[in-house]
Structure 1
Amino acid sequence: MRVAFLGMGKMGRLMAARVLAGGHELTLWNRTPGRAGELVAAGAREAASVADAVADADVAVLMLYGPESAGDVMESVHVAAPAGLLVINATTVGPEAARELGRAASAAGLRYVDAPVVGTLGPAREGKLKILVGASELDLAAARPTLELFGDPERIVRVGDVGAGSALKLVVNLSLAAATAAIAETLALGTDLGLDRQVVLDELAGGFLGGILGYKRPMIESGDFTPPAFTVEALAKDVRLAIRATPRPLGIAQAVLDLTGQAADRGHGEADFSAIADLPPLDAAASPTTGTADPARRPYSTQA
């Protein structure tokens, strides 16, 4: 199988490595060249352009930053791809963008599978990602051999037609954001009330926040949020997509954006998303009586 892999970020490189390890012919492309030298050294070919990458591919996999980058790349795919090319978009783009990309791909004579992944660097390295698929049963069957190279075969879930996978991905990531924000505020409250931080963490670990604390507690305890599995800025991007996807006001999502903005202002934009739990101590900007910060002091708007 000839696979074109478009996007060599941290996740993309690990997922592409699984394709190469599966014995397939791999062609790579990234907007900034030279990001996957280890894969080229192992036998992959680096293409000079998207058109070059997909020209003779059987499957193209996209793992990019968001809907804008995916849309730009897909325009180039449409021009150069062979008829019937199977496009698997693992980028988190939101449901409406996924449907638009799917319609455009179909008009260009291509097959399109909406397949955002759930999981971070560890599962990607091991080929154990969960994949939320929006596609016809026929297109999923065609994509499954590729998806199983980097996804857990038992966790490749067809959610519905194109757009459904991206919709569920936003739901999943908003739940992750909300849980992390809850840790941030409960830890801050415990500190403000004079409680020992370890005592608070122990109590939270035994409750409904225990799942996320189970793997983020070392970072939260140490204050070292590197290396990131999923960055603060990436979390903020996905929360904005969730807000744009519905006319319903999402108050918790807006609060998360405030926390991500504060974290970025402290230099944590490229740190692991758990850095939003590292709230600074109370200062003159907040009253311990009311718990309300001066709105003029907030460095980031909560608007999407």
Structure 2
Amino acid sequence: MRIAFLGLGRMGRELARHLLDEHDVTVWNRTAAAADGLVGEGARRAGSPAEAVDGADVVFTALFGADAVREVVVNARLPIPAEATWVDVTTLSPAQAREFAAWAAEHEVWYAHSPVVGSLAPARARALGVLLGGDPEAVRVAEPLVRLWAAPDRLRVYDSAALAAADKLVNNLALAVAMQGVVEALRLGRSAGLSPEQVLAALDGSMLTPTVKAKGEALRSAAYSDTQFSTDLLAKDSRLMLDTTRLPLPALTAAAAALLDASRRGHGDDDFSVIAADDAR
């Protein structure tokens, strides 16, 4: 298939790479250098989004958020060919997914929303959780493509793009709240006389064990630059969750405030576990 892939951030590069063996892939990124590695592996570089989608059967977007999707696709009136399939990997709110599905329908484009669950290591290993929802025709076309980076038992298909978006937000809420749980455990332990290492040991076997296992080394070494999921991204997603809910989310509200504070202090590009940095010392 002729595939255009727009957006080559950390995750976008990993996903686009999995398409190269089986498909003709053209890539575009606002910062052109981000495409260098993929071009070296056989992708074609486009100078603009419009050039990238010319003649494409499938268009992937993996952008920072809804505003970026609007800028690149909607406001720019991106000339995606009629009856092509647009697969948006960008994390969105359900309302935003409905917005882009409506735009696609108006322009005779099949739309699917397919965010991923997981970080860079499972992306490289083709072991991500993958969510997929949208037009039946878009889902039919997208499913074999997104399976290229999905774990065999971790693809969930919905009958609407909005439900796939909601699933993704629920997953990211768990990330933010669990990390905030580690922060508060460290604070409680310190108040009661435990060292940070003793607190991390105390959490072994607890409901927070997966988070400690995933982020413990970063906490112990105070090294947060090996970013699996950035502070800025999770802060942005937390705002989507708070905008979507009709009910209070106090744990998420605390985590969102911590993420925003870390971002304002210059840690936006660091791994989101940096919100525990001050307490893990």
Do the two structures share a fold, i.e. TM-score over 0.5?
A: yes
| 8 Å Cα contact 2:114/2:132 also seen in 1 | yes
CA distance in 2, matches of 1:153, 1:113: 20
| 8 Å Cα contact 2:110/2:137 also seen in 1 | no
Matched, 1:262 2:261: yes
Runs of 5+ consecutive residues of structure 1 not aligned to the other structure: 283-304
1:176 CA drift (Å):
1.0
Which has the larger displacement, 38-47 or 75-84? 75-84
CA distance in 2, matches of 1:13, 1:118: 16
| 8 Å Cα contact 1:3/1:59 also seen in 2 | yes
Q: Which is higher, the Rg of structure 1 or of structure 2?
A: 1
Q: What pairs up with 1:172-191 in 2 under 5 angstroms?
A: 172-191=171-190
Aligned partner letter, 1:107: E
1:139 CA drift (Å):
2.7
Residues 183-242 of structure 1 deviation map (CA, whole Å, 9 limit, x = unaligned): 001101211221122221111121110111111111111111121100111111100000
Counterpart residue number, 2:275:
276
| 8 Å Cα contact 1:5/1:60 also seen in 2 | yes
| 8 Å Cα contact 1:50/1:77 also seen in 2 | no
Counterpart residue number, 1:31:
30
Which has the larger displacement, 152-161 or 96-105? 152-161
Q: What pairs up with 1:1-304 in 2 under 5 angstroms?
A: 1-20=1-20, 22-75=21-74, 78-280=77-279
| 8 Å Cα contact 1:19/1:150 also seen in 2 | no
CA distance in 1, matches of 2:47, 2:218: 39
Aligned partner letter, 1:236: A
Aligned partner letter, 1:24: H
Aligned partner letter, 1:70: V
TM-score (norm 1): 0.87
1:76 CA drift (Å):
6.5
For the residue of structure 1 that corresponds to 2:147, the secondary structure is helix
Counterpart residue number, 1:294:
none
Runs of 5+ consecutive residues of structure 2 not aligned to the other structure: none
For the residue of structure 1 that corresponds to 2:111, the secondary structure is strand
TM-score (norm 2): 0.94
Residues 163-198 of structure 1 deviation map (CA, whole Å, 9 limit, x = unaligned): 111111111101110010010011012112211222
RMSD value, Cα: 1.8
CA distance in 2, matches of 1:197, 1:61: 43
Number of matched residues?
A: 281
CA distance in 2, matches of 1:96, 1:139: 19
Give every structure 1 segment of 4 or more consecutive aligned residues whose post-TM-superposition deviation is greater than 6 Å.
none
CA distance in 2, matches of 1:259, 1:65: 20
Instruction: Describe the shift of the 1:217–1:99 C-alpha distance in structure 2 as closer, same or farther (beyond 3 A).
Output: same
Instruction: Describe the shift of the 1:194–1:167 C-alpha distance in structure 2 as closer, same or farther (beyond 3 A).
Output: same
Residues 24-56 of structure 1 deviation map (CA, whole Å, 9 limit, x = unaligned): 111001112221211112221111111111111
For the residue of structure 1 that corresponds to 2:60, the secondary structure is strand
| 8 Å Cα contact 1:78/1:108 also seen in 2 | no
Aligned partner letter, 1:19: L
| 8 Å Cα contact 1:188/1:279 also seen in 2 | no
CA distance in 1, matches of 2:143, 2:269: 33
Aligned partner letter, 2:15: M
Instruction: Describe the shift of the 1:278–1:79 C-alpha distance in structure 2 as closer, same or farther (beyond 3 A).
Output: closer
For the residue of structure 2 that corresponds to 1:208, the secondary structure is coil
Aligned partner letter, 2:9: G
Q: Aligned residues: percent identity?
A: 37
Instruction: Describe the shift of the 1:125–1:12 C-alpha distance in structure 2 as closer, same or farther (beyond 3 A).
Output: same
Residues 251-302 of structure 1 deviation map (CA, whole Å, 9 limit, x = unaligned): 22221122113323544222111111223599xxxxxxxxxxxxxxxxxxxx
